[in-house]
Amino acid sequence: MTLLNCKHSLIALASAALLAGCASNNPYENERNVNRTAVYGGIGAAAGAITGAAVSSKKDRTKGALIGAAVAGAAGAGYGYYVDRQEAELRRAMQGTGVEVQRDGDNLTLVMPGNVTFATDSATISGSFYGALNNLAQSFREYNQNTIDIVGHTDSTGAYQYNMDLSRRRAQSVASYLQGQGVDYSRMSVRGMGPDQPVASNADSYGRQQNRRVEINLRPMPGAYQ
């Protein structure tokens, strides 16, 4: 069997497995209290893994299987399954970078401290942070079923309007860099909140440092795996 035929066979097998799971009419299913999310998500993930591996190059076959599992599993179990996989990938990719990954339901937020992202009073991304942004861009390209809301924040030091402008310019710098790394700009929105949404007190240097940040909010696209 040729490699092409093998790929086609694997894809057909994956599709059949997914359809078989969704077509169950077992009259005793309710009595067994089967968790449909787990069952269909698992079937979808297995099918997606086969498909992802089949359509990937040899070098990327393992990663293709993982992404395929996330996408097909989400189709069977809902967007939450997809976010589970994306969250795990982001936590791995952001380890040791200073970026915090937060989750609230199906929403993910990446908190990038200003002290590691930008120099003081600057909207130019620090050279040491490019590696982290490259990893983010790769993840956003692979997991592309959510919108990317980029929000800049400052502390309350200085003129209010200046801080509003600086926060927006910083958010725009992040968006522009991600776009340059192949992330679809139509998924992104950019805002500057200045000092209006502090997460700590501005009365001391530690609190002000926490308030100087850029947040990236990942939200499901309308109709994504509902």
**pLDDT tens, position by position, for the chain (226 residues)?**
554 454 454 444 444 444 444 444 443 333 333 333 444 344 444 444 454 455 455 555 555 555 655 555 445 457 889 999 999 999 999 999 999 999 999 999 999 999 899 988 999 999 999 999 999 999 999 999 999 999 999 999 999 999 999 999 999 999 999 999 999 999 999 999 999 999 999 999 999 999 999 999 999 998 766 5
Question: Which residue in 130, 222, 215, 117 sits closest to 181, CA to CA?
Answer: 130
Give the residue ranges of DSSP H helices in the chain: 3-22, 29-32, 36-55, 61-77, 79-94, 114-117, 130-142, 160-180, 205-211
Q: 225 — alpha (psi -120 to 50), left (phi > 0) or beta? A: left
Task: Report residue 57: phi and psi, to 5°.
Answer: -70, 165
List of residues 6+ apart from 53 with CB closer than 8 A: 10, 61, 62, 64, 65, 68
Buried b (16+ CB within 10 A) or exposed e, 153-173: bbbbeeeeeebbbbbbbbbbb
CB 178 within 8 A of CB 139: no
For the chain, give every domain's residue range.
Answer: 3-77, 96-220
Among 3.40.50.150, 3.30.1330.60, 3.90.950.10, 3.30.420.40, name the CATH number for the domain at 96-220.
3.30.1330.60
Whole-angstrom distance, CA of residue 48 vs CA of residue 16: 11
